[in-house]
Amino acid sequence: MSSKLIAPSLLAADFANLQRDIEMVNQSEADWFHIDIMDGVFVPNISFGMPVLQAITKHTKKPIDVHLMIVEPDRYIKTFVDLGSDILTVHYEACTHLHRTLQAIKAEGMKAGVSLNPHTNINLLEDTINDIDLVLIMSVNPGFGGQSFINNTYNKIAQLKELIVRKGASTLIEIDGGVNTENAKALIDAGADVLVAGSFVFKNNNPLEIIKELKTAANS
Ligand code: DX5
Ligand code: ZN
């Protein structure tokens, strides 16, 4: 079985000490950097934008997993590949022409991801799953770190896994929001491949150890 991945979300990092926190992730057992881009329209919060991401990718030594919580994401696909994004995830709810958006992301050489809000049903991906490299299931409502995990996520993972297997797709399942060492193993057992963790990693005194514990729990 392939290794399960951990993607710390820099949203919970200390923005005044970003380089320090990035170096910590570089040295850790984490697999990807998860980058949350919010526009204040799709979600009721604004995180950070292109100049900050440019500063971040000067120091990162692992793949960049960008989660766009923005309207009209098509406008910025080229921008994000130029900024060093390896995986570009858009929200299902923000895409009128999802199939076209996925092709545009892949045409730039990035992996294409689709994120679903907690209210968005898995069966809406019936006709696109074979075009999607990664589905990001939101286990909180997007917009803020530090919220509590929504338990219905487990049902959604199981439904998505069934869809992926039935369609013969090779899509990865990523979970984002309220992930910690209490639920990591259960999420993987339900079918997840990648776990995002923000507050649980960066609000701890020993983030390096926390990442190690998440990685161990996810692969136990
Ligand atoms: C929320 C973001 C998450 C967030 C997760 O909208 O998509 O990536 O950073 O934070 P925690 O792990 O604190 O729930
Ligand atoms: Zn995210």
The pair of three-digit structure tokens given for residue 92, joined into one six-digit string: 């299902």
| R_g of the chain, CA atoms, integer Å | 16
| pLDDT tens digits along 4-25 | 999 999 999 999 999 999 999 9
Q: Which residues are found with C-beta within 5 Å of the ion, ligand 2?
A: 36, 67, 176
Helix axes 18-27, 207-218, angle to 10 degrees: 40
What domains, with CATH codes, occur in the chain? 5-218 (3.20.20.70)
Average pLDDT on 149-177 reads: 98
- Whether 176 is catalytic is yes
Above pLDDT 70, what percent of the chain? 100
Give the active site residue among 36, 39, 65, 193.
36
Closest C-alpha to 68, from 55, 49, 96, 44: 49
Element (DSSP H or E) covering residue 115: strand 111-116
| pLDDT tens digits along 206-216 | 999 999 999 99
- CA dist., res. 81 & res. 111, Å (int): 10
Average pLDDT on 105-125 reads: 98
The pLDDT value given to residue 2: 83
The pLDDT value given to residue 34: 99
Ligand 1 in contact with 34 (CB < 6 A)? Answer: yes
The pLDDT value given to residue 1: 60
> How many CA atoms are closer than 13 Å to the CA of 218, on its beta-carbon side?
27
Ligand 1 in contact with 141 (CB < 6 A)? Answer: no
